[in-house]
Amino acid sequence: MFGVTSGDSSPQSLVINEAAQALRDGRLVAFPTETVYGLGADASNPSSVQKVFTTKGRPSNHPLIVHVAAPERLGHEQLDWVSVLAPWARDIPEDALKLMNAFWPGPLTLVFKKDKHVLNEITGGQDTVAIRSPAHPIAQELLRQFQGGVVAPSANRFGKVSPTSAADVRNEFEGDTDLLVIDGGDCEVGIESTIVDVSSGDRVALLRPGVITPKEMLAKTGVRVYRLGEAIDPNAHFESLPRVSGGLKAHYAPTTPLRLYAPGRVLDALTEFPDTKSRVAVAVWDSESSLGDDGHPSAQFEEVEVPSDSAAFASRLYRTLRDLDEQGWDLILFPEPPAGEEWDGVRDRLQRACFGSGPSSSSHDSN
Ligand code: TXA
Ligand code: MG
């Protein structure tokens, strides 16, 4: 990936240097993580944090994730995750330690009880704070040089598809000359981090599915993470909005209407769109190569292959949605992801994208 080491004077390292200074100066910096690009601000500066909300157009009661450097990056051998978390979180449970040791730095966000010094602007006034240490070397180097916490939501306008390249970020915030964007190429994971709530000190709960699944967490750490819909409290978590604004129904939405189709049922997905079915982009599994004789009523169907491996699918999902959205189709059809936990993250993003899609999507409430 990106060979950034501390103390080097490569052009990339100089950009990171400038970006760390911009954060200190109260400016926003968009930076790559392995999941999606983040819109970063100094987590200790209330007016910078405020700027994140106004730039994104995001309601202020939607809490932000604080990004922290990994202890080894900070270069103190005696440092561990608990000391990195000290300014932010308290009552760190044993299960959280196991998860951090297994998955950090990486695409996993943990929600802790917050330290009293964490700004209300970050937590939306809640008593918990979400923390993540991203694996991307540019993100780590930025956090190391900055020597503080960086709040960063996905670097898209509220309700839009999250950016997975620097060009996506520039498109989202065109004309914002004060925003510094670090180009780290395409994001490998491609969908936002898994969010797990460890704040209750009791049950550990999945708040947002991602590429790290409860099954994997159980296998690697022995920690049981209760999935969405599992009976802890059927009304909790995803429904307890706006704690997780990603839990709102409409989210990650393209402006072209998007629908899912069941295997072999492309035509069913069209019934809603009698007038617009003439220009339809249909995503098909690469393992199936073509819809074949699925009864296209129109010559204007165009097939786009999508990977049948869940990680590869996630990695390409937002890129594909953005590209198709720009191509001016009347309708985009995606195959329903198969059953299985490894598909939960993309299924969640696709369902929300469907719900919020279409020309009026900007009026939907999402992040
Ligand atoms: O992969 C990611 O997580 C990306 C990269 C940039 O790190 N960030 C990201 O941030 O997706 P954002 O703001 O788009 O989504 C953060 C989610 C929101 O749904 C928010 O409600 C939830 O995290 N969240 C933040 N603080 C929380 C808290 N204290 N309790 C529960 N959920 C929280
Ligand atoms: Mg987001």
Q: Per DSSP, what are the bridge partners of residue 196?
A: 110, 206
Reported ipTM: the value is: 0.99
The topology under which CATH files domain 258-363 is: Rossmann fold (3.40.50)
- pLDDT tens for the 367 residues of the chain, in order: 344 544 566 777 889 999 999 999 999 999 999 999 999 999 999 999 999 999 999 988 899 999 999 998 777 666 899 999 999 999 999 999 999 999 999 999 999 999 999 999 999 999 999 999 999 999 999 999 999 999 999 999 998 999 999 999 999 999 888 999 999 999 999 999 999 999 997 899 999 999 999 999 999 999 999 986 664 444 444 433 334 545 555 567 888 999 999 988 887 877 777 665 578 899 999 987 666 555 555 557 889 999 999 999 999 999 999 999 999 898 999 999 999 999 999 999 999 999 888 875 443 444 5
Q: Is the CB of 123 under 6 A from ligand 1?
A: yes
- Cross-strand bridge partners of residue 301: 280
Q: Name the percent of the chain in helix, strand, coil, to the closest 5.
A: 30, 15, 50
Strand-pair partners of 335: 261
The residues, ordered by sequence, that sit 6+ positions from 90 with a Cβ below 8 Å of its Cβ are: 112, 113, 114, 115
Q: What ligand has the least distance to the C-alpha of 246?
A: 1
To the question of whether residue 35 is assigned a binding role by annotation, the answer is yes
| Residue whose C-alpha is closest to residue 152's, from 86, 14, 55 | 55
**Are residues 95 and 225 in contact, defined by beta-carbon separation less than 8 angstroms?**
no
Ligand 2 center from residue 298 Cα (angstroms): 36
Q: Please tell me if the domain spanning 11-247 has the same topology as the one spanning 258-363.
A: no
Phi, psi (degrees; rounded to nearest 5) at 194: -65, 135
Q: Classify domain 11-247 at the CATH topology level.
A: DHBP synthase (3.90.870)
218 three-state secondary structure:
helix
**Residue 9: CB partners within 8 Å, gap ≥ 6?**
none
Q: How far is the CA of 213 from the centre of ligand 2 (A)?
A: 19
pTM as predicted: 0.90
Domain borders along the chain are: 11-247, 258-363
Contact 314, 190 (CB under 8 A): yes
Q: Which long-range contacts (CB under 8 A, 24 or more apart) does 70-73 make?
A: 70/104, 70/105, 70/133, 70/140, 73/6, 73/140, 73/141, 73/143, 73/144
